[in-house]
Amino acid sequence: MSTPERVVEDYLGHLAVERGRAQNTLRSYRLDLGRYTEYLASLGHRDLAAVREADVSGFVTALRTGEQPLAASSTARALAAVRGLHRFAVQDGIVPADVAAAVAPPSLPSRLPKALSVDQVDQLIAGCVADSPTGLRDRALLELLYSTGARISEIAGADLDDLDDGARTILLHGKGNKQRIVPVGRPALAAVDGYLVRARPTLAARGTGTPALLLNARGNRMSRQSAWHVLRAAAEASGLPQDVVAAISPHTLRHCFATHLLSGGADVRVVQELLGHASVATTQIYTHVTVDTLREVYATAHPRALG
């Protein structure tokens, strides 16, 4: 008998060792699969081979309708983890059939990424007052996020040696340990240079020595959570309208990077490479934003647009 808990541990080990999944991904999978094993236990299933397609569908329904219902996106993520578990169990010969393969996730609302205008990005970055070591670091952080389109975790995880000032590039370590080299604009390089010369030595003296590019107030590597707090603080101090501030997320500057590139005429496949997307389909959501912009310009500029 293969208990669901035992198979989950084997599956997480497989993801960590053989697939090289990031720790954040593994934590999310552990949480979602923990919910799943608890649900199976409530049904009396102590052997994964006893699970049927109706049980997996019931789990999805329970996530959406329970005492603390999950959003469609969170439910879809949990189902993805469950489907991966059952697929692994079949491939490993633990169960004879994949009972989760045909279970469909809940439909997701069609939402376009929230992107600020160029002027709003300038105003957001100006919310960082570069008059202290942490202020200089915060300005460098936001400039790098917008200049490279990197995820917050990628910039927080960057080391000094990843930045090539001469080539004006930075090496980013993305999901699944995939690496990519991305250009860095001159304003971002200037902000980083100011931080490296006037701030990082002060911060580094408080720590025990780390190759990290961005340091926290104790001289250690800046965490993803701390970087997100910096973005939120800059948004609050920027003077942007409250509805804009409320919509700002960890991916806001990444969305702005992609949208502004495409609006400026960049090829979608180039943007795909810069963002580190495995599929161009993921990047193409940003083309909807630029099409909307083109439609607005057409409607106001063409003499027969509204005829």
Angle between helices 72-91 and 4-17 (to 10 degrees): 90
Residues linked to residue 169 through DSSP beta bridges, in sequence order: 164, 183
Catalytic residue, from 175, 180, 224, 288: name it: 175
Catalytic residue, from 286, 295, 298, 302: name it: 286
Catalytic residue, from 86, 137, 260, 277: name it: 277
DSSP string, 1-16: ---HHHHHHHHHHHHH
CA of 163: how far to CAs of 158, 171, 189, 228, 251, in Å? 8, 6, 9, 21, 21
Catalytic residue status for 178: no
Catalytic residue status for 175: yes
Cβ-count burial of 180 within 10 angstroms (0-12 exposed, 13-18 middle, 19+ buried)? Answer: middle
121's torsion region: left (phi>0), alpha (psi -120 to 50) or beta? alpha
Rounded-to-integer distance, Cα 246 and Cα 289, Å: 20
Catalytic residue, from 151, 200, 221, 255: name it: 151
Catalytic residue status for 139: no
Catalytic residue, from 35, 254, 255, 260: name it: 254
Catalytic residue status for 146: no
Catalytic residue, from 87, 168, 251, 288: name it: 251
Catalytic residue status for 251: yes
Coil, helix or strand at residue 194:
helix
Angle between helices 186-198 and 133-148 (to 10 degrees): 160
Terminal CA-to-CA distance of the chain, rounded, Å?
Answer: 71
Coil, helix or strand at residue 170:
strand
Which pair of structure tokens corresponds to residue 190? 């200037």
Active-site residues, by number, are: 151, 175, 251, 254, 277, 286
